[in-house]
Homo-oligomer: A and B are copies of this chain.
Amino acid sequence: MDSKFSKGEQSRGRLLAAAASEFAAKGFHRARVSDIVKAAGLTQASFYQYFESKEGLYQQLMDEFFAKLWELADGGSKVTALDEADVYGQVRENLLALFRFFQGRPELTQMVLYQAEAGEELHRKLAATVSANLRQNQAAGHVRADLSPEVAAEAMVAVCYRLTSRFLLAGEKTAEQLADEAVSFLAHGILQEKTREGARHE
Interface residues of A (CB under 8 A from B): 84-89, 91, 116, 134, 141-144, 146-148, 151-152, 154-159, 161-163, 166-167, 173, 178, 181-182, 184-197, 199-200
Number of copies of chain A assembled together: 2
A190 near B159: Cβ-Cβ < 8 Å:
no
A43 to chain B, nearest CB (A): 39
Instruction: Please tell me which one of the listed residues B155, B178, B188, B195 contacts residue A142 in the complex, with CB atoms under 8 A apart.
Output: B195
Contact (Cβ within 8 A) A88 B195: yes
Chain A contact residues: over half helix, strand or loop, or mixed?
helix
Q: How far is the CA of A157 from the CA of B166 in the complex (A)?
A: 12
Asked whether B88 lies within 8 Å of A181 as measured between CB atoms, the reply is: no
Nearest B-chain residue to A191, judged by Cβ: B187
Minimal beta-carbon separation of A84 from chain B (angstroms): 5
Q: Shortest CB–CB separation between residue A180 and chain B, in angstroms?
A: 9
Nearest residue, chain B, Cβ from A178? B151
A88-B196, A163-B151, A166-B154 known; A191 vs B190 contact (CB < 8 Å): no
